Amino acid sequence: MGQVIGITGGIASGKTTVGELIRAAGFLVIDADQVAQELIASPSIVHELAERFGSRILNRDGSLNRAQLSQIVFGHASKLQILNELTQPVIRQQLLAQMDAARAGESKVFFEIPLLFEQHYERLVDQIVVVSVPEQQQLTRLMQRNGFTKAQARVRINSQLPIAQKCQRADFVLDNTQGPHELAQQVQALLTQI
Protein backbone atom coordinates (compact mmCIF):
# COMPACT_ATOMS: atom_id res chain seq x y z
CA MET A 1 0.00 0.00 0.00
CA GLY A 2 1.31 3.40 -1.02
CA GLN A 3 1.61 6.47 1.10
CA VAL A 4 -0.96 9.28 0.66
CA ILE A 5 0.22 12.86 1.11
CA GLY A 6 -2.44 15.56 1.40
CA ILE A 7 -1.76 18.98 -0.13
CA THR A 8 -3.87 21.82 1.20
CA GLY A 9 -3.82 25.53 1.96
CA GLY A 10 -6.18 28.43 1.53
CA ILE A 11 -7.88 29.54 -1.65
CA ALA A 12 -5.34 31.20 -4.00
CA SER A 13 -2.38 30.01 -1.93
CA GLY A 14 -0.74 28.02 -4.74
CA LYS A 15 -1.96 24.45 -4.20
CA THR A 16 -2.57 23.93 -7.90
CA THR A 17 0.94 25.09 -8.77
CA VAL A 18 2.40 22.71 -6.18
CA GLY A 19 0.26 19.89 -7.60
CA GLU A 20 1.50 20.64 -11.12
CA LEU A 21 5.14 20.64 -9.96
CA ILE A 22 4.67 17.29 -8.21
CA ARG A 23 2.88 15.85 -11.25
CA ALA A 24 5.74 17.07 -13.48
CA ALA A 25 8.17 15.19 -11.21
CA GLY A 26 6.34 11.97 -12.12
CA PHE A 27 4.00 11.47 -9.17
CA LEU A 28 0.26 10.87 -9.26
CA VAL A 29 -1.77 13.83 -7.98
CA ILE A 30 -5.52 13.48 -7.35
CA ASP A 31 -7.15 16.90 -7.68
CA ALA A 32 -10.20 17.01 -5.41
CA ASP A 33 -11.49 20.21 -7.02
CA GLN A 34 -11.50 18.59 -10.45
CA VAL A 35 -13.30 15.51 -9.12
CA ALA A 36 -15.85 17.71 -7.35
CA GLN A 37 -16.48 19.86 -10.43
CA GLU A 38 -17.12 16.79 -12.57
CA LEU A 39 -19.49 15.25 -10.02
CA ILE A 40 -21.39 18.46 -9.35
CA ALA A 41 -21.96 18.87 -13.10
CA SER A 42 -23.62 15.44 -13.34
CA PRO A 43 -27.33 15.64 -14.26
CA SER A 44 -28.55 14.00 -11.02
CA ILE A 45 -26.64 16.44 -8.79
CA VAL A 46 -27.61 19.44 -10.95
CA HIS A 47 -31.25 18.39 -10.62
CA GLU A 48 -30.98 18.15 -6.81
CA LEU A 49 -29.24 21.52 -6.62
CA ALA A 50 -31.91 23.15 -8.80
CA GLU A 51 -34.59 21.65 -6.52
CA ARG A 52 -32.93 23.31 -3.51
CA PHE A 53 -31.69 26.59 -4.96
CA GLY A 54 -34.06 27.20 -7.87
CA SER A 55 -33.68 27.29 -11.63
CA ARG A 56 -31.61 30.48 -11.47
CA ILE A 57 -28.54 28.27 -10.90
CA LEU A 58 -29.03 26.71 -14.35
CA ASN A 59 -27.72 27.87 -17.69
CA ARG A 60 -30.11 27.94 -20.64
CA ASP A 61 -28.97 24.46 -21.68
CA GLY A 62 -29.80 23.06 -18.22
CA SER A 63 -26.18 22.79 -17.08
CA LEU A 64 -25.02 24.19 -13.76
CA ASN A 65 -24.09 27.86 -13.59
CA ARG A 66 -21.35 27.57 -10.96
CA ALA A 67 -20.87 31.33 -10.66
CA GLN A 68 -24.56 31.80 -9.84
CA LEU A 69 -24.50 28.96 -7.32
CA SER A 70 -21.39 30.41 -5.67
CA GLN A 71 -23.03 33.81 -5.44
CA ILE A 72 -25.99 32.24 -3.63
CA VAL A 73 -24.07 30.11 -1.12
CA PHE A 74 -20.93 32.04 -0.23
CA GLY A 75 -21.56 34.40 2.64
CA HIS A 76 -24.65 32.44 3.70
CA ALA A 77 -23.60 29.69 6.10
CA SER A 78 -26.95 27.86 6.02
CA LYS A 79 -27.00 27.73 2.20
CA LEU A 80 -23.37 26.62 2.06
CA GLN A 81 -24.23 23.88 4.54
CA ILE A 82 -27.09 22.70 2.31
CA LEU A 83 -24.74 22.61 -0.68
CA ASN A 84 -22.19 20.61 1.30
CA GLU A 85 -24.82 18.18 2.60
CA LEU A 86 -25.97 17.51 -0.97
CA THR A 87 -22.56 17.21 -2.59
CA GLN A 88 -19.91 16.18 -0.06
CA PRO A 89 -21.03 12.56 0.48
CA VAL A 90 -20.87 11.86 -3.28
CA ILE A 91 -17.56 13.70 -3.64
CA ARG A 92 -16.09 11.88 -0.64
CA GLN A 93 -17.13 8.48 -1.99
CA GLN A 94 -15.48 9.19 -5.36
CA LEU A 95 -12.31 10.61 -3.80
CA LEU A 96 -11.93 7.62 -1.48
CA ALA A 97 -12.37 5.22 -4.39
CA GLN A 98 -9.71 7.06 -6.40
CA MET A 99 -7.39 7.21 -3.41
CA ASP A 100 -7.72 3.49 -2.69
CA ALA A 101 -7.12 2.55 -6.33
CA ALA A 102 -4.09 4.84 -6.55
CA ARG A 103 -2.67 3.67 -3.24
CA ALA A 104 -2.77 0.07 -4.47
CA GLY A 105 -0.64 0.88 -7.53
CA GLU A 106 1.66 3.70 -6.44
CA SER A 107 4.26 4.05 -3.70
CA LYS A 108 3.28 7.71 -3.16
CA VAL A 109 0.02 9.43 -4.07
CA PHE A 110 -0.60 13.14 -3.61
CA PHE A 111 -4.09 14.32 -2.77
CA GLU A 112 -4.67 18.01 -3.55
CA ILE A 113 -7.68 19.13 -1.52
CA PRO A 114 -8.50 22.66 -0.41
CA LEU A 115 -10.89 21.55 2.35
CA LEU A 116 -8.71 18.77 3.79
CA PHE A 117 -9.27 19.87 7.39
CA GLU A 118 -12.73 21.35 6.92
CA GLN A 119 -14.10 18.08 5.48
CA HIS A 120 -11.97 15.89 7.81
CA TYR A 121 -9.80 14.16 5.22
CA GLU A 122 -6.75 14.57 7.47
CA ARG A 123 -7.53 11.17 8.99
CA LEU A 124 -7.19 9.54 5.57
CA VAL A 125 -3.72 10.80 4.65
CA ASP A 126 -0.32 9.83 5.99
CA GLN A 127 1.25 13.29 5.84
CA ILE A 128 -0.01 16.83 5.25
CA VAL A 129 1.61 19.58 3.19
CA VAL A 130 0.23 23.11 3.59
CA VAL A 131 0.92 25.79 0.98
CA SER A 132 1.09 29.07 2.86
CA VAL A 133 0.81 32.76 1.92
CA PRO A 134 0.03 35.79 4.09
CA GLU A 135 -3.66 36.70 4.08
CA GLN A 136 -3.12 40.02 2.29
CA GLN A 137 -1.24 38.28 -0.52
CA GLN A 138 -3.96 35.61 -0.66
CA LEU A 139 -6.62 38.32 -0.91
CA THR A 140 -4.77 40.13 -3.72
CA ARG A 141 -4.18 36.92 -5.68
CA LEU A 142 -7.80 35.87 -5.38
CA MET A 143 -9.08 39.26 -6.52
CA GLN A 144 -6.73 39.24 -9.52
CA ARG A 145 -7.31 35.60 -10.45
CA ASN A 146 -11.12 35.54 -10.17
CA GLY A 147 -11.99 39.19 -10.72
CA PHE A 148 -13.59 39.39 -7.28
CA THR A 149 -14.15 42.55 -5.31
CA LYS A 150 -12.35 42.72 -1.98
CA ALA A 151 -15.60 41.83 -0.18
CA GLN A 152 -16.25 38.81 -2.44
CA ALA A 153 -12.68 37.57 -1.98
CA ARG A 154 -12.86 38.03 1.79
CA VAL A 155 -16.07 35.94 1.95
CA ARG A 156 -14.34 33.07 0.10
CA ILE A 157 -11.27 33.25 2.35
CA ASN A 158 -13.38 33.38 5.50
CA SER A 159 -15.33 30.28 4.43
CA GLN A 160 -12.16 28.22 5.04
CA LEU A 161 -10.03 27.51 8.09
CA PRO A 162 -7.28 30.18 8.33
CA ILE A 163 -3.97 29.16 6.74
CA ALA A 164 -2.14 29.78 10.03
CA GLN A 165 -4.27 27.10 11.73
CA LYS A 166 -3.65 24.71 8.83
CA CYS A 167 0.11 25.31 9.15
CA GLN A 168 0.00 24.32 12.83
CA ARG A 169 -1.42 20.93 11.83
CA ALA A 170 0.93 20.32 8.88
CA ASP A 171 3.87 17.94 8.56
CA PHE A 172 5.40 20.24 5.91
CA VAL A 173 4.77 23.91 5.09
CA LEU A 174 5.63 25.39 1.70
CA ASP A 175 6.01 29.18 1.81
CA ASN A 176 4.63 30.63 -1.43
CA THR A 177 5.45 34.29 -0.81
CA GLN A 178 8.53 34.64 -3.03
CA GLY A 179 7.60 33.32 -6.44
CA PRO A 180 7.53 30.28 -8.71
CA HIS A 181 11.28 29.55 -8.68
CA GLU A 182 11.48 29.49 -4.89
CA LEU A 183 8.30 27.42 -4.65
CA ALA A 184 9.72 24.89 -7.14
CA GLN A 185 12.86 24.58 -5.01
CA GLN A 186 10.75 23.91 -1.91
CA VAL A 187 8.74 21.26 -3.78
CA GLN A 188 11.97 19.53 -4.87
CA ALA A 189 13.19 19.54 -1.27
CA LEU A 190 9.84 18.15 -0.12
CA LEU A 191 10.00 15.30 -2.64
CA THR A 192 13.40 14.24 -1.33
CA GLN A 193 12.14 14.21 2.28
CA ILE A 194 8.98 12.12 1.91
Question: Is 9 annotated as a binding-site member?
Answer: no
Q: Check whether 41 is labelled as a binding-site residue.
A: no
Tell which residue, 16, 20, 11, 25, has the closest CA to residue 194.
25
Query: Are the C-beta atoms of residues 19 and 141 closer than 8 Å to each other?
Result: no
Strands 28-31 and 172-175: unpaired
149 in a known ligand binding site: no
Is 153 annotated to bind ligand?
A: no
Q: Is 55 known to sit in a ligand binding site?
A: no
CA–CA gap between residue 2 and residue 30 (Å, rounded): 14
The answer on whether 177 is annotated among ligand-binding residues is no
Q: Strands 108-112, 28-31: parallel, antiparallel or unpaired by DSSP?
A: parallel
**What three-state secondary structure class fits 169?**
coil
- Report how far apart, in Å, the C-alpha atoms of 143 and of each of 8, 48, 146, 174, 178 are: 20, 30, 6, 22, 19
- Residues of each annotated binding site for ATP: 12-17
- Residues of each annotated binding site: 12-17
